[in-house]
Each structure stands twice: as structure tokens, then as C-alpha cells.
Structure 1
Amino acid sequence: MSPQPSTNAPSVESVNTIHLVGRVSWGPEARTLPSGDEVVQLRIVIPRRSPRGRGGRTQVDAIEVACWSARTRAAALRLAVDDVADVEGSLHRRFYAAGEGRVSRYEVEARRLRRVRP
């Protein structure tokens, strides 16, 4: 028997929205999947300050971005390494087959993507 939601729990709207601005460090790379779907993937790097007590060094987060719509694929293909990208989208967990079996990874699925000019 599956667990039932509590009737006393308040109704809360779920939100899965990501907004990132960072430097393109890899890609964009266009791929056609075995299903025939097309995707353009890239990686953006976003600096962040270390928590106190770690010497104040800057660390980076490297975030994988997947562009599935024709509009975001076209925008991604106009980017180059070291461009600054502004990405709005949502976090997704994607499952796929690999040499060691079925694996998963998290990536941002871009809903809107544009280059930021300095």
C-alpha cells in the first residue's frame, strides 16, 4: 500500500525554476539521440565565494545545460567558450544507458538562453 498524503498538510505550489548567469566553459555541442531527438549541450561555470573559514578562496560550480527546443538550440549554437550566458530553465534528472548500465545525472533544461554582452 502506498503512503497517503496528509489531509492536514497545507497546499503549497511546487516550483522548479533556475536562473543562472555564467561563463561558457564547454560546448555548445549538438547531438542527435538514438530516438531522433536533437539536443545542444553546454557547460557554464559560475564562481561562488567559499564559506567562512576556508580562506575566502573562490570556488566554481560547473553546470550542465541542455537545450531541447529549436529556439534554445539555435541560441546555444551562437555561443562560444568564454561567452557569458544567461539561462532560465528547470532542473531535470536524466536517465540514460552507459557502459556500466543505467546511470543518471542532473542538468538544467534551458527554457530561455541568451548571450550577455559585457
Structure 2
Amino acid sequence: MANKGNQYKNRVELAGRVSGEPSEKTLPSGDVVAEFRLVIDRDDREGVDTLDVAVWKAQLRKRALSLEAEEWIGIKGVLRRRFWKGSTGIASRWQVEAREIERI
């Protein structure tokens, strides 16, 4: 199927609570990222989903780092799969790359 008119979309909109304190780290490339986990209740059954969130833009990183554990937030962003070379070879994980964060 051809991509006519940019019909494929990678958009994520989530609401949940922050799990733990956000952290900031500098990668070997020199890029800086803030990371935290978002806990989301499941609608259809008991339990929760816990998603890793990455924040790359400087101003939004500042907001992310001001979040507190158990705080309820809304996020808009995109889903990304990150790859890196680990001690046992190539590793990967899925993250939500936040483009907007708001307290709710």
C-alpha cells in the first residue's frame, strides 16, 4: 500500500500518573534526555500499563523534571523504538517521545 497524502500517523495521546521522580541523563552523543515512567490504568480489566517516556526538547525537559511522583499528567507525542549496543549485543525498547506535557 502506497503512502498517499501522508496517511500513516504516529501519534500518541495518554493520561496517567508519574511513577517515581523523572531523571535527566547525557548520552554518549552529548544529547540530553529527561526520562520517566507513566502508569496508565487499563479500561477493560484490572491492572496497569507502565510506559517509558523520553523528553528531548530543552524547555519541555525542564517541565518534565518538575513533575512529582504520583502526579497526574497528559502527554501528546509519538511512539519510538530505541536501539543501542549492550553487553550482550543490540538491545531495544519502546518509548513515548513526549512533545507536549500538561498537568491534569
Which residue does 2:25 correspond to in 1?
A: 31
TM-score by length of 1: 0.80
Of residues 55, 60, 66 in structure 2, which corresponds to 1:72?
60
> Is the 1:26–1:44 contact (alpha carbons within 8 Å) kept by the matching residues of 2?
no
> Is the 1:64–1:108 contact (alpha carbons within 8 Å) kept by the matching residues of 2?
yes
Superposed CA offset, 1:15-70 (max 9, x none): 000001100013301000011100000001000134xxxxxx51101010000001
Give aligned pairs, total: 103
SS at match of 2:96: strand
TM-score by length of 2: 0.90
CA 1:99–1:48 in 2, change beyond 3 Å: closer, same or farther? same
SS at match of 1:102: strand
SS at match of 1:82: coil
Which residue does 1:106 correspond to in 2?
A: 94
Cα distance in 2, alignment partners of residues 39 and 59 from structure 1: 29
| Structure 2 unpaired stretches of 5+ | none
Q: Percent of pairs identical after alignment?
A: 42
After TM superposition, what 4+ stretches of structure 1 lie above 4 angstroms from structure 2?
Answer: none
Shift of residue 10 of structure 1? 7.7
Cα distance in 2, alignment partners of residues 10 and 96 from structure 1: 29
| Structure 1 unpaired stretches of 5+ | 1-5, 51-56
Shift of residue 100 of structure 1? 1.2
Which residue does 2:79 correspond to in 1?
A: 91
Cα distance in 1, alignment partners of residues 3 and 31 from structure 2: 39
CA RMSD in angstroms, aligned pairs only: 1.6
Work out which of the two has the higher radius of gyration on C-alpha atoms and give 1 or 2: 1
